[in-house]
Amino acid sequence: MGFDVSAEDKSTVNTIMVVLGILAVMAVGFFFAASFVTSDDSDTETISERAQDKILDNIRPIGEVSVGAVAATAVADAAASTEPRSGEQVYTASCLACHASGVAGAPKLGDNAAWSTRAAKGIDGLLATAISGINAMPPKGTCATCSDDELKVAIEYMLEQSGL
């Protein structure tokens, strides 16, 4: 008892086998292509290391902040290593911001009337006020690193420029 296979059935089986063969070849091709694309190449690591170095360089801090005793030592060292500044230098660096425009009631440089009432305290009284601060003016104004002598010469400079 044999089966009679028609030519049409043989053709269908052959077509299925050819399609399966093509699919198998394609699968093997995709496997090798994926292996090639995801391979761990030494050039890739070099590029990756360079990219990592560039990223670290981009996010590197620009400066550092010292807090506590380290900062106090740095400020003291800076103050000790420099010569005292002139009244004009201290004024230009620290006092100008408020005393040039009269911010928050600060007496303007050159305003004789405003400085006359304050000058009645005397230089020592003005120095004590500058050291402790007054109204909107913080202690030592905006010159926390100024010595008392530097503050004194800055006050003398402002009085002189105001005609006193």
3-state secondary structure the chain: CCCCCCHHHHHHHHHHHHHHHHHHHHHHHHHHHHHHHCCCCHHHHHHHHHHHHHHHHHCCCCCCCCCCHHHHHHHHHHHHHCCCCCHHHHHHHHHHHHHCCCHHHCCCCCCHHHHHHHHCCHHHHHHHHHHHCECCECCCCCCCCCCHHHHHHHHHHHHHHCCC
| pLDDT, tens only, 99-128 | 888 888 888 888 888 888 888 888 888 888
* pLDDT for res 80: 59
Q: Is the pLDDT score of 39 beyond 70? A: no
* pLDDT for res 14: 93
Distance CA 22, CA 10 (A): 18
> Which residue do the tokens 């008892």 mark?
1
Radius of gyration (C-alpha) of the chain in whole angstroms: 42
Distance CA 34, CA 43 (A): 18
Most confident of 29-33, 134-138, 139-143, 154-158: 29-33
Which has the higher per-residue pLDDT, 112 or 39?
112
Q: Report residue 67's pLDDT band, with 50, 70 and 90 as the boundaries.
A: low
* pLDDT for res 78: 59
Residues 6+ away with beta carbon under 8 Å from 126: 118, 119, 155, 159
* pLDDT for res 164: 81
* pLDDT for res 59: 86
- Please state the rounded mean pLDDT for residues 15-22: 96
| pLDDT, tens only, 77-97 | 655 556 788 888 888 888 888
* pLDDT for res 26: 97
What's the pTM value of the predicted model, to 2 decimals?
Answer: 0.50
* Cβ atoms of 131 and 140 closer than 8 Å: yes
* pLDDT for res 82: 63
Backbone angles phi and psi of 134, in degrees to 5: -155, 140
